[in-house]
Amino acid sequence: MEHEQPSVRRLAWKALLRWNKGGIFAETLVARAAAEHKLSPSDRALLQALVYDTLRNLSWLDHLRKALRPAPLENDIRVLVQLGLCQLFVLKQAEHAAVSETVKLAPARARGVVNGMLRNAARRRAAFEAERETLPPAIRFSTPSWLVRRWMLQFGEADTLAMLAWNTQTPPLYARLNPLHPMDSVPEAWEPLAEAPLWYRVHGPLPAAALQAGQVYMADPSTRHSVRLLAPKAGERILDACAAPGGKSAAIIGATEGRVSLLSTDAEAHRLPMLEENLRRAGGQDVQVAQHDWSTPCPEAWRGAFDAVLLDVPCSNSGVLQRRVDARWRLQEEEIARLAALQMQILEQGAAAVKAGGRLVYSTCSIDREEDRALVDAFLAAHPEFELAEDILVLPHRAQADGAYAALLRRK
């Protein structure tokens, strides 16, 4: 007898329970469950929405849970109630479906409690939604208090609140066309970005065939800023030092019509096959892929060998909390100082690969000053042979895209 296929809500509950134990990203848990149970595209989308939106709104959902029942709940029941509240308040599902389907998942001993809490929540929906506007930002927008305080100091109240609100929303999907392998036609539902040629906001199913053929690359338009500052030219020798999975390398290939000598490296050997495949699809002619950890010294063969170097360094992900739903819950404030030290190591070693008169672009998907301009200023103070030509800080709520930082440095 075949086992009954578990419901999508049960899969979401199990994924959230596993996420609570730590050590696995939400993205990985969703992908595993979808593959294991061979979910249809619509069921996979529902699973992702259930898991991601619960995590994006976790503090507020738990605030509601405590308001409905101050007494502690067992961990599995607490997570189940959060999932039910997400369906009611975030996904706006019909009450009968959100409540009854969630109650079905509960063990018999807890069904009465879960049913009572969710029905009470539905009755009090208007009051709870009005109250949300009055709650402290850390609860209202489900963001650690230390990060809210840090942003208030760096960006002020108005930008911080707008950014926190942005991070609770489902991120748009974007695609960049490959000018070397043009699509026959762009789907009518896609919206071109006026400020970013070749970029589109994607609506509808992903174009699997076009992705496979290297005609289109899924990325966020914030990634274009570092490549714009780098300004790669045909005939140059360029290093993309932290390259996997290859989005910026592919953009460099496209910007030079493939007429560039490109070395793309990554610290992790297991990422290289995917990186190489992505660059092959992009149309690179003279492309090499190599493993190197840029927190260690620049190899002698690469010292002063490149016209331009792109360093897209590991960071706190503070600019992409909307897209990377569990990053806000993994990050600790003391981690930013540790990351900044690592970033400086990478910048020091990557700079050694730039030849005289060459260019270096330092970029992050962080918006934190300690990882961005403050770090660049400290590097320049220690390296007068470099000068700052231009930098840009992209705040996500203003750009309606991911946040990012990029700085163009020139070697004298």
Positions annotated as catalytic residues are 365
User: Can you give 262-318 as a three-state secondary structure string?
Assistant: EEEEECCHHHHHHHHHHHHHHCCCEEEEEECCCCCCCCHHHCCCEEEEEEECCCCCC
CA 337 to chain centre: 20
From the list 311, 310, 255, the residue with the least C-alpha distance to 282 is 255
Residues with Cβ < 8 Å from 395, sequence gap 6 or more? 155, 159, 163, 319, 367, 403
Residues with Cβ < 8 Å from 55, sequence gap 6 or more? 16, 19, 26, 325, 326, 329
Residues with Cβ < 8 Å from 278, sequence gap 6 or more? 214, 217, 245, 246, 247, 249, 250
Distances in whole angstroms, Cα of residue 267 to Cα of each of 196, 295, 296, 380: 30, 9, 10, 25
Structure tokens at 225: 């800023």
Distances in whole angstroms, Cα of residue 7 to Cα of each of 88, 99, 302: 18, 14, 54
Residue 187 preceded by cis peptide, ω within 30: no
Residues with Cβ < 8 Å from 206, sequence gap 6 or more? 173, 218
DSSP classification of residue 221: G
Q: What residues pair up with 406 in beta bridges, in sequence order? A: 363, 392
Q: How many CA atoms lie within 13 A of 283 on its CB side?
A: 21
What are the strands of the beta sheet with 386-394, ordered from one edge?
286-291, 261-266, 237-240, 306-312, 354-364, 404-411, 386-394
